[in-house]
């Protein structure tokens, strides 16, 4: 039994390594993403995280980003921490509503406590690139306020503005729970504590897109 578990874990880790920082050219949106697959089960189940940014994004400046996630249907909720940790950075928590619609919730946690709603990062869900099938659901959304942030005074931490580098890797983090939120149709719903979390370095340099603003404007209107 232990040997079977060991083999499964090795296979899962190999799968993760192969999928890390892959370049994904999305045929639906026309955007180029860097893609990273993160496990939440040793049997190989995991969430795919993709990021696309403009090619004219500058160091130490805020810029828009597009996030795309591919999530297995057994996931109750999944979360992305733009700063690679739970406290003091924008958090994206996502789940499906009762009609299988995607719900995106912008959150902020001042510590290891329940994240509150956060207006500093705003998400616009695209119809194009958002879909589902019998095994997974996927969403694609524009985020403003995810690549630069200043912790509010209520956070009790540093007030220094932080920027994600468009020229290299940035540490991101994710969380997973199999339990759906208590009010799944509301972005302000409460939800359970995560069962799994993980961190990785996500390559932003290869996620750069020429004509990003023009492509995104068409996706917003579609």
Mean pLDDT of the chain: 90
**What average pLDDT score do residues 214-219 get?**
97
**What is the 3-state composition of the chain as percent helix, strand, coil, each rounded to the nearest 5?**
15, 40, 45
DSSP state of 86: S
Share of the chain above pLDDT 90, in %: 83
Rounded to whole angstroms, the Cα distance separating 49 from 79 reads 10
DSSP state of 49: E
- Start-to-end CA distance of the chain, whole Å, equals 51
Rounded to whole angstroms, the Cα distance separating 117 from 209 reads 30
More confident residue, 62 or 112: 62
Question: Residue 21 — very low, low, confident or very high, per pLDDT cuts 50/70/90?
Answer: confident
Residue 72: CB partners within 8 Å, gap ≥ 6? 45, 46, 47, 135, 136
pLDDT digits (tens, 9 = 90+) for 143-178: 999 999 998 877 666 788 999 999 999 999 999 999
pLDDT digits (tens, 9 = 90+) for 32-67: 999 999 999 999 999 999 999 999 999 999 999 999
Residue 145's nearest CA partner among 164, 159, 171 is 164
**Burial, 62: exposed, middle or buried (Cβ in 10 Å; 0-12, 13-18, 19+)?**
middle
HSE (side-chain half, CA atoms, 13 Å) at 50: 24
Specify the pLDDT at position 155: 67
Rounded to whole angstroms, the Cα distance separating 68 from 141 reads 6
Least confident of 20-29, 64-73, 132-141, 161-170: 20-29
């Amino acid at each position: 039994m232990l040997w079977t578990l060991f083999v499964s874990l090795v296979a899962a880790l190999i799968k993760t390594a192969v999928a890390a920082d892959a370049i994904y050219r999305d045929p639906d949106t026309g955007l180029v993403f860097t893609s990273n697959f993160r496990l939440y089960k040793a049997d190989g189940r995991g969430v795919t995280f993709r990021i696309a940014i403009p090619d004219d994004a500058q160091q130490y400046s805020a810029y828009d980003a597009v996030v795309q996630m591919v999530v297995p249907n057994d996931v109750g909720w999944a979360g992305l921490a733009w700063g690679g940790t739970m406290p003091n950075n924008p958090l994206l928590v996502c789940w499906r509503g009762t009609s299988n619609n995607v719900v995106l919730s912008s959150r902020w946690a001042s510590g290891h406590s329940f994240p509150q709603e956060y207006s500093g990062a705003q998400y616009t869900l695209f119809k194009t690139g958002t879909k589902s099938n019998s095994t997974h659901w996927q969403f694609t959304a524009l985020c403003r306020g995810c690549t630069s942030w200043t912790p509010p005074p209520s956070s009790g931490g540093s007030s220094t503005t932080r920027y994600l580098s468009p020229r290299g890797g940035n540490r991101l983090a994710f969380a997973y729970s199999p339990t759906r939120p208590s009010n799944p149709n509301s972005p302000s719903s409460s939800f359970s504590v995560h069962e799994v979390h993980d961190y990785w370095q996500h390559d932003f340099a290869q996620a750069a897109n020429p004509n990003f603003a023009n492509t995104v404007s068409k996706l917003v209107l579609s």
